[in-house]
Structure formats: C-alpha cells, structure tokens
Amino acid sequence: MGVRPVIGVVAVLLAAGCSSSVGGSAQPATSGASSAVADLSAVVHKDIAARDHVDGHVDYPDSPPMGGRHNAVWADCTGTVYTRQIANENAVHSLEHGAVWVTYRPGLDAAGLAALKTLVAGNDYLMMSPYPGLDRAVSVQSWGYQLKTDDAADPRIKLFIKTYRQNPKTTPEPGATCINPNFPGA
C-alpha cells in the first residue's frame, strides 16, 4: 500500500523529464544533470500568419523579430557567424526557411561569444549576429518562437535549436535553401 504513492511520484517525475509542452508540441528531454534545467517552458510563442515579401523596413512587434513580412532576399544561414548586425527583414526570411537565428547583445564576454560560435559555426540552418539594444544577453529565434537568456551557456539554447531548427510543424518552408553566398557578410 505504501508503494502506490511512490510509483505515482516516479511516473510523474519520468513524464516531466521526458517532455514539456510549448505551443502544443512535445519537446525532447535532455540527458544528464542539465535535464532539470533545460526545458523550454520560457519559450515565447506567437502565431504568425503574414509571410509576404516586401521592400524596405518592416516594423516588427518583437525585438528581435520571430517572423512576419520580410525581404525577398534571405540571409545566408549555413552556420554563418556575422560580425555585424544584419537586417531583420533578411533574417526573418531565413526563419521562414527553417533557420534558427542566434542573436547576442554587443559586448558579450569572450567565453559567451565562443560558446555561441561553437553551436552555430558551420551548421546548416543556423546563423548568428550581434543585435544592438537586445534586452537580454542572448536571444534565439525560429519562426514564431523565441527564447531569451542572460547566459550564453544556457542549455536551453541547444534544446531550442534541436527542437525548432527545420521543424516541419513550425517552419513555413521546411527544406527551402539557406545558402546565399552573395548575402553581405556571408
């Protein structure tokens, strides 16, 4: 009789470790000691319907933006690490293709910058750029999803990338190319 509550607690703990829900989709669990920390409950989700191509500046409701109207030219997102800010309108087009855009506040310490570069450099459907005025040290975006943190080594960044990069349930154009070698800074 004393075993039943323990089994119930173990079942609840196992279920909590295996998935959490964000925007109605199951999230993969992480392994090791960081699994208790690396969940996506802090991810912001917005349904974004507008996807048309426009010329010029777009006023996005979020900073950095996580989707919406955008420029017809996408930013190269083949693991590109930009050293300068890129236009929101080009980055949003890359999000439409299934990319995850890692942004950081200029002045991020060398260790934090190195940790982010290690995640992004050379990995398809990822790009990274400084983002002046960012309200947190790091922000990661995919189409309709965003996570902000003050720790560049936050294990949720890896989990966000694993969950949302090229996710056919959240990406408007999964499989669309991310290659654009003529994009400035690529």
Q: What confidence tens digit (pLDDT) does each residue in 138-157 have?
A: 999 999 999 999 999 999 99
Beta-carbon contacts of 115 under 8 Å, excluding residues fewer than 6 positions away, are 152, 153
Instruction: Report yes or no: 120 and 81 within 8 Å, Cβ to Cβ.
Output: yes
pTM, two decimals, is 0.81
Domains of the chain listed by start with CATH number: 43-186 (3.40.30)
Instruction: Report yes or no: 77 and 125 within 8 Å, Cβ to Cβ.
Output: yes
For residue 33, the 8-state DSSP code is: G
Q: What confidence tens digit (pLDDT) does each residue in 95-149 have?
A: 999 999 999 999 999 999 999 999 999 999 999 999 999 999 999 999 999 999 9
